[in-house]
Structure 1
Amino acid sequence: MASPPHPLAHAAPVLLLLAILLLAVAAAVFLGLRGRRQREARLPLPEPAAAAEEEISEEGGREKGRRRKARRRQRKGGGGGEGDDAAQQQLLRQRPHFPLASVAGSLQRRINARYDDLAARASQAQPITIHQIHEFIKCLVDARNELQHKSETVERRCRIKKALLSNPYYSRKGNSDRLCEQVHKLEAEHKRLKKDADIYNYLQEEIQKSEPYKMLVEFSVQMEAYEHAPGCPAREMTFEELLAEEKKDPAFWQRVKNQTSTSSK
């Protein structure tokens, strides 16, 4: 009679199948990790340009940080820089809204420098001397003379162009267009001169309000009265003035005539 099969005989195939499955899972995990490491090893390195750009951006950030720290230290250290900036802004506000654009560049710089000096002294409650007022008035006189000369020149040229434009001989199309364009340019220049004249009048009014200008005018009046006084001693004459006075005397020409005739003999 046959013996019954052992229980492990039926479980052996199942256990073998489980072992095979475990080995397959382990092999799959191993292969997956290995492939991931190979892919990471094959990744391209960052380009040098990108690295350089990152380094530059980092340097820029550090430079901005240093500037911000320097500004904070300057504010904490007493605000000297802010005071200078405020004074400069005050000077710019006190200066006229537009410069004398029609005068020469050197004269324009002289006027701005003198005006800024006077404005700085006035804002700091410092006394303005008569010499500073006199120098600024000299600049204004030069500017007035130049503006008058340019204004007269522009007006004369504008009258000539308009007269030519009204002449039938020059009323042809080509000449008419060219003359109209020239007249428009001269009128625009005349408007700029008028603006500069307003600025000149503004500066003159501001100067006339100052105490040094009033003292200068008073001193000039006193000197003029002193020179015309009866007991005022006569001033010394130059050689040119003395020669002009001698030429008015007929005896001078007689002496010259005698000397000429003597030398010719």
Structure 2
Amino acid sequence: LDPVTTASGIYEVVNESMISATRVHVAERGEDPRRYMLVAFGGAGPVHAHAIVKALKSPGFICPPSAGVASALGFLTAPIAFDFGRSYITRLEQVDAADLDSVYRAMEQEALAVLATASVREEQVELTRSADIRHVGQGHEISVQLPAVNGGIDIEAIRNAFYVEYERLFGHAHRDVPVEMLTCRLRASGPKPEVDLQAPPADPASAERALKGARPAFFKDAGGFVETRIYDRLLLAPGARLTGPAIVEEVDCTVVVPPGMEANLDHDQNLVVTFASGDGQHD
């Protein structure tokens, strides 16, 4: 095989792996990928995103600014949080509400102590109770957030929350089948860091200034190499619009906009890539 055919084959194998993983993830959540935009991040994610959304028949994908370091940026801007868990394997009808509440209260005290070491004051802490619950005999449980109840635990409210979440995920609920808890869980989080990300003013003409040149790029669906415009993302401002084929280069990643798709930079500097009118993606 020649180098181009080999590289294209490797690219397609990677795409298929990512497409399969995305299908499984979406199916596990009981969702329809045609209803959602894909968020593409990481150094290579925006290179593969167009192939994934085409296979899943999604409307397009969103590439945030600094996508190549999105995980690191998210770590720095997310609130500090800790997760706690305790085994509690009991049929729901046999659960003692006071005993269950004491388990959560013990975890809450532990959580407050841990967050205090991170200089988070008690009044700043947000506590969220949840539990892993399933039908008796099932091999897979689902996470259910416990309803907020003044003064403790409401077992019937938990049971109903399980049925609601189960039906949301799987489209049906077996309300006559016994239910059991497996694990008590608690998430304790502090306040969100203050982040001030100011976008430049809208400037649709910035697309021309951001144009670095053009070079041949290989698009198998287009029959091979196609002359492709190359853009510097740092020079794009909100309102900029690009028509594929285009490649948007950034220090930490590269965004590929194939023939038949177009990209628009929104007011938050996200590059929103969708199928051009008349492409027939959703026919």
Look at both structures and tell me which one has the larger radius of gyration over its CA atoms.
Answer: 1
TM-score, normalised with respect to structure 1: 0.19
Q: TM-score, normalised by structure 2?
A: 0.18
Name the one with the larger strand percent.
2
